Amino acid sequence: MIEVLGIPFYDLGLKEAVQHIITICNTQADKSNRCISATGAHGLVISKNDSDFAKLLKDFYINLPDGRPVSIIGKFKGAKHMEQCTGPDFFKNVMEASSQYEIKHFLCGGKEGIAEELKLNCEMKFFNKNIAGTHSPPFRLMKDEELKVLGDEINLNKIDIVWIGISTPKQEYFAKRLSQYINVHFIVTVGAAFDFHSGKIRKAPVFITKTSMEWAFRLFLEPRRLWKRYFEVVPKFIYYNIKELITKIS
C-alpha cells in the first residue's frame, strides 16, 4: 500500500487486484465483508475536509486508484507498479474473470431499472450469469429496517460480492452500513460503473485517460452535473499534494 494525501491505496495493477479478489472468493470459506473503494481525486479532496470519511477510507480493505493522477503520485512516491484502477474497469474485469467460477454477485445502485439493465449486459457482454440479485436504493438515506431487509435478501442468495454504484461519499458510507447486515466476501463501491456498463454514459477513450484528462471528457458529457465538482476538485487536489510535498521537504 502507498499513501496519497494520507489515504492508503493499492500499489499494484488492475490484473493483480482482480486476481486477488478471485483467489479469496475461491479459496476462503469465511466471509468478512471486506470493503473496497475505487476512489480518486474527488474522494481524496472530500477526505481532507471530512475526517469521518477519511477514517472510513483508511478502514477499507483496499482503496483502488480510480484516477490516473492518484496513480502518478503513487509512482512518484515509490510505488513503481501502481496503475490506475477505475471502478468501471475493475467491475468489467472481475465480471469476466469470475464468469467461469461459482462466484455470486449482487448489484446495488443506479436509478430504477439500471441495475437490472446492468445484469443483462453482464450476461451478454461479460458472459457472466452469476448475478443473483439487484437493488436500486432510494436517493434518501435508507432506514436500518430497510437495510436489514436488503441484507436478508443478500444473505439468502449466498452472495460473494456486492457491487455498489452510487456516488462518493454516499456509496462508501452505504457500504459500511450495509456491512452490518450481510455476510459476503467483498463490498465494492465502483461509482459510475453502473451507468457506464448499462450504456447510460460513454467511457473516455484510452488516449484521453492516458493524459489524465478523463475528468474533462466527463465534464463535456455532463456539464450541468459535474462542472462545480471538477472546478473545485482539480485545483484543490493539486494544492493539497503540493502542500504535502513542501511540508515534507521543509
Domain assignments of the chain as residue spans, ordered by start: 2-213
* Strand partners of residue 62: 36
Amino acid 68 reads: R
Closest CA to 157 of 175, 134, 137, 174: 134
CB atoms within 10 A of CB 218: 20
Amino acid 121 reads: N
* Strand partners of residue 134: 107
Residue 26 is predicted with a pLDDT of: 94
Query: Sign (positive/negative) of CA torsion 13, 196, 135, 117?
Result: negative
Query: Structure pTM?
Result: 0.86
C-alpha 213/C-alpha 210 separation (Å) is 8
Contact indicator for 85, 10 with CB cutoff of 8 Å:
yes
Residue 238 is predicted with a pLDDT of: 81
Contact indicator for 4, 70 with CB cutoff of 8 Å:
yes
Please identify every stretch of the chain with a pLDDT value under 50, giving residue numbers as ranges: none
Residue 250 is predicted with a pLDDT of: 58
